[in-house]
Amino acid sequence: MRLKINVIVLFAIIWSISTPASAKSDLTKYSGTVKLTSGSYASGQCTSYTFTNRCSSGDCYCAQLTGTYSGTAGKGSATFDATVDLGDGQRTIGSAGANCDGCSPIFGVLQITGSKDTETFDVLGAGCALLNQAVDVQSDATEFGGGCILVASNLFSNGGVTTCIATGTSPTLGTIKMTGSAEK
């Protein structure tokens, strides 16, 4: 038993000596709010980024939106390019009165240029029309939920992950609230 304890203590000492200081985590809380105020929509997937350039069903549209940001990266501007995959047939652009209470996968890239940092997030989630809404998808009251993965940052070189929850007046236009962690 004593040998087992000594081996464990020896391992802990060797590990603490051999582990560089840079391997220790510097995890920071991350939060931000993006207010998307204008943009354009087009048929097909967004081709501006590799992450958005996907449309497995063949029935997608591209939303390219701009707005403001306030949060951990400071205050500044935001752009959000998102491919919305309509493949289940429940959501169709320009068809007021269509059955719009389904959910559609969203593949997006969120670019933030803040006063403290410039950041890029890959966004993966689903846009869901509120139940019993039967109006055009681009003016429908919707909710979006998913994850934002920090893939580029000057401040957080080890990346980060946040939840992205949005409400608004279309699948992607509105306010996105981000909460999570990032690592320096």
Name which of 145, 152, 61, 136 is nearest 103 in CA terms: 145
pTM of the shown model: 0.74
The residue type of 136 is D
pLDDT class of 150 with cuts at 50, 70, 90 = very high
Ranges 8-12, 77-81, 121-125: which has the least confidence: 8-12
In whole angstroms, what is the distance from residue 5 CA to residue 1 CA?
6
Burial class (CB in 10 A: 0-12, 13-18, 19+), 49: middle
Structure-block tokens of residue 51: 């992450």
pLDDT digits (tens, 9 = 90+) for 68-117: 999 999 999 999 998 888 875 454 444 444 444 567 888 999 999 999 99
Q: Going from the N-terminus, what domains does the chain have, and what CATH number goes with each?
A: 26-183 (2.40.160)
pLDDT digits (tens, 9 = 90+) for 32-46: 999 888 888 889 999
